Structures are given as C-alpha cells and as structure tokens.
C-alpha cells in the first residue's frame, strides 16, 4: 500500500520555513552570489524547480530569507525582553550580564550571523532588505533602552544604540577576526565598567576617554 503523498509531503508553511532555513545556510557558506533557487533545492535534496514554485524571482527569495531571519531574531528579542523586563529591579550588573549572554548566543549562531552580514551588504542595493533588517535592530535597541531608562541612565536611547552596536561589533570580530577579538571572559566586566561610567555621564552619554580615571 502506497503512502498518501499529501500526508508525506511537508505542508506549504513548513516548506516556506525549510526554504528560509536552507537559504540562510547557503548565504553563510556560499555568499550572496551563491544564493540561487537551484542552490536551495540542492541543499534540501529537492527536485530542481521546487523552490522557484514558491519564490519566482531572486528578490522574492531574498525577501523570504530576511523574513525567516527576522522570525528567528524575534525569539532572541523575546529572550532579551524576558531577561530585562521580568519582576525585580533592573541593575547595571544584570544589564551587563544580559548583553554578554546575548553576545555568546550570537557567536554560537555563526551561520545566522554570517547570513545577516551578507544580507546587510545586499541591503545597500535593495531597500526592502535594508528596511527589514533595521526594523529588527530597532527592536533590540528599544529593549536595551528601556532597561537603561529603568536604571536611570541619562540618555538611554543613544546609550542603548551604542551598546548594541558594540555587541554587534564584538560578534563581527569573534566570527571574522578572532585573532584581534577581546577575551570573551572579560566582556561582562568591561560592559559593567562602561555602564558605571555612563550612568552618571552628562549630556548624550559620551564615552569616557581612554585615559580617564
């Protein structure tokens, strides 16, 4: 007795997720130029032409990758929110620990981050890709800004933007230039010292000069 194809074939929504995940893998391993419908089909061991039935153009496929990346990022955002907005006082040590843990999570998700870097370059030429990535980043900045505001920081939005940019830059170094990256064990304490200095900083939260005591 033959299996019913309708029961063995993944549902449409499941296939969309599979295409998004496979495209992220292809982006991370082959770069933006290597992302084609055929490459996704090969990665999934699907008959050639399967992916193109869901996304007819390369622009549509790129948009699907961004959407899938954002879906996964939303789970990270929810984790950040849960770590910073649960019951109990928000302290600078708690903020530093959440950011250090977020960095470790990003580095462990190497494939996803490399795909994001490729998409960031694509975003220079494709406004829709750029806008989608920025929307996710603004959510992260907002979560950190609310935590800083709750702890009495003088310029939480600007300071949150700087903090998230710093974490993103550290992630970039760990993945692409590990030989110049700071010791991961030092990150939380370094963040703590910066937060302590910034907590009483006037104006827009200028970073203390390297020689400041």
d(CA 43, CA 184): 33
Q: Note whether residue 210 is domain-resident.
A: no
In total, how many domains does the chain have?
Answer: 1
Where residue 204 falls among pLDDT bands split at 50, 70, 90?
very low
- pTM of the predicted model as reported, rounded to 2 decimal places: 0.80
d(CA 182, CA 71): 30
Q: Note whether residue 26 is domain-resident.
A: yes
Residue range(s) defining the domain that contains residue 130: 5-199
d(CA 1, CA 51): 29
Q: Is the pLDDT of residue 4 over 60?
A: no
Q: Note whether residue 211 is domain-resident.
A: no
What are the pLDDT digits (tens) for 22-77? 999 999 999 999 999 999 999 999 999 999 999 999 888 998 898 898 888 777 77
Q: Note whether residue 48 is domain-resident.
A: yes
**pLDDT (0 to 100) of residue 213:** 39
Q: Note whether residue 177 is domain-resident.
A: yes
Q: Note whether residue 206 is domain-resident.
A: no
**pLDDT (0 to 100) of residue 8:** 44
What are the pLDDT digits (tens) for 71-117? 887 777 777 777 777 767 888 998 999 899 989 989 999 999 999 99
Where residue 195 falls among pLDDT bands split at 50, 70, 90?
very high
d(CA 116, CA 24): 8
Q: Note whether residue 213 is domain-resident.
A: no
**pLDDT (0 to 100) of residue 36:** 96
d(CA 99, CA 96): 5
Q: Which is higher by pLDDT, 107 or 1?
A: 107
**pLDDT (0 to 100) of residue 3:** 39
Closest listed residue to residue 138, CA positions, set 161, 115, 121? 161
Q: Note whether residue 156 is domain-resident.
A: yes
CATH (domain of 60): 1.10.357.10
Q: Is the pLDDT of residue 186 over 80?
A: yes
Q: Which is higher by pLDDT, 3 or 104?
A: 104
What are the pLDDT digits (tens) for 151-160? 999 999 999 9
d(CA 200, CA 205): 9
User: Mean pLDDT, the chain, as a whole number?
Assistant: 86
What are the pLDDT digits (tens) for 127-154? 888 988 898 889 889 989 999 999 999 9
């Amino acid at each position: 007795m033959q299996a019913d194809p309708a029961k063995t074939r993944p549902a449409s929504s499941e296939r969309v997720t599979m295409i998004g995940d496979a495209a992220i893998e292809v982006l991370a391993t082959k770069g933006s130029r290597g992302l084609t419908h055929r490459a996704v089909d090969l990665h999934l061991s699907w008959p050639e032409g399967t992916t193109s039935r869901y996304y007819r153009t390369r622009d549509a496929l790129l948009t699907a990758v961004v959407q899938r990346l954002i879906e996964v990022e939303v789970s990270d955002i929810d984790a950040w929110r849960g770590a910073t907005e649960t019951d109990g006082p928000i302290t600078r040590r708690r903020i530093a620990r959440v950011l250090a843990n977020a960095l470790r999570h990003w580095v462990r998700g190497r494939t996803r981050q490399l795909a994001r870097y490729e998409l960031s370059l694509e975003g220079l030429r494709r406004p829709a890709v750029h806008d989608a990535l920025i929307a996710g980043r603004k959510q992260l900045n907002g979560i950190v800004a609310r935590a800083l505001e709750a702890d009495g920081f003088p310029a939480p939005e600007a300071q949150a933007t700087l903090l998230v940019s710093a974490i993103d830059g550290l992630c970039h170094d760990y993945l692409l230039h590990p030989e110049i990256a700071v010791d991961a064990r030092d990150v939380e304490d370094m963040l703590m010292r910066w937060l302590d200095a910034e907590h009483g900083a006037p104006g827009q939260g200028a970073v203390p000069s390297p020689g400041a005591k």
